[in-house]
Structure 1
Amino acid sequence: MKYFWKLNAVSAILGALIFISTELMVNVYRISRIGEWELGAVVDGVERINIGLAALAPILIAFMVWKWLEGRASTYWSLLLWVPYFVMFVSVFAKLFPETHQGDRPAPVTGLIIIAMTIAYPFYLALPVSLGFWLSRRQKREDSVIPIE
């Protein structure tokens, strides 16, 4: 049962990573309006945050899979279990922070970008999950985790 909770915690973190990225993209106009910042500065900041998340997420994911998920084959379920958490996060955010200002609506192409991101996300996750799985299996065999010869 403990493994079940760990798998769901990892899946929730995976869902939160894409949620943060998509919500920042969708809400640039709202952030600009409420923070009274220039739109260009907000867009640049969102791009930097998304690039930082994209760069650090594989390391975080591989580490979580390696340390928490114990090298079980059911680790790969996390490649699908992030979806309900992502939907839940988006639904809760939309209920808590409804769109009240007409100018806060994102550009129509933003939806297409988010669709492409959600389709590509499992493939993006596959490599760090596989790496963490491999490291965990290698550690169980008591080989050196990082082969240095």
Structure 2
Amino acid sequence: MMKAWMNRQLISFIYGVIILIPIELLLNIYRFSRIAKVSISTTIMISSVLIIISTLFGLLWTYKLTAIWVKTKRQAFLPVLLWFPYFLSLMYLIATLFPMTYEGDRPNPVSGLIMIASIIIYPIVVFGFQMLGMHKKSSEELL
């Protein structure tokens, strides 16, 4: 029972980190560009590649973990809700540890709109991957 609870929490934590990485990369483009002393276009290109790689790796990892650990549909549904507290606490932790000290590093307003849209759409993505993981498990049991 406790192991299943820890497994759900770990999957939820990973889902929280999966959306945290792209949002933090998006919000800190100017800061990364200034600290690394590279052009903004180079920083955007590197961030885009990191966003794609981290998202694909994270979603595939949670898909496999779901197929291995999750036993019931109720357990598969919980990460759809539980990723958000992890995301908020990690976002708060990063904002506290690395405060914005230089006004030129502030993200543009469109970044906020992209972040809001991502947070609204993300539960649908999590639900889809949870159900895919459950489907993989049920199709393997039939064989």
Task: Tell me the TM-score normalized by structure 1.
Answer: 0.88
Q: How many positions carry a matched residue from both structures? A: 142
Amino acid at match of 1:78: P
Gaps of at least 5 residues in structure 1 are 145-149
In terms of fraction of residues, the more helix-rich structure is 2
1:37 shift after superposition? 1.2
Task: Give, in whole Å, the separation in 2 of the partners of 1:136 and 1:73.
Answer: 15
Whether 1:89 aligns to 2:118 is: no
Note if contact 1:66-1:133 (Cα within 8 Å) is conserved in structure 2: yes
| Structure 1 vs Structure 2 CA RMSD | 1.4
Residue number in structure 2 paired with 1:20: 21
Whether 1:39 aligns to 2:35 is: no
Note if contact 1:65-1:71 (Cα within 8 Å) is conserved in structure 2: no
Amino acid at match of 1:74: Q
Residue number in structure 1 paired with 2:137: 136
Task: Give, in whole Å, the separation in 1 of the partners of 2:72 and 2:59.
Answer: 17
In our comparison, the structure showing a higher alpha carbon Rg is 1
Task: Give, in whole Å, the separation in 2 of the partners of 1:13 and 1:37.
Answer: 30
Residue number in structure 2 paired with 1:114: 115
Task: Give, in whole Å, the separation in 2 of the partners of 1:55 and 1:3.
Answer: 25
1:55 shift after superposition? 3.3
Whether 1:48 aligns to 2:49 is: yes
1:38 shift after superposition? 1.2
Amino acid at match of 2:67: W
Give % identity.
31
1:134 shift after superposition? 1.4
List 4+ stretches of structure 1 deviating above 4 A.
none
Task: Give, in whole Å, the separation in 1 of the partners of 2:74 and 2:13.
Answer: 19
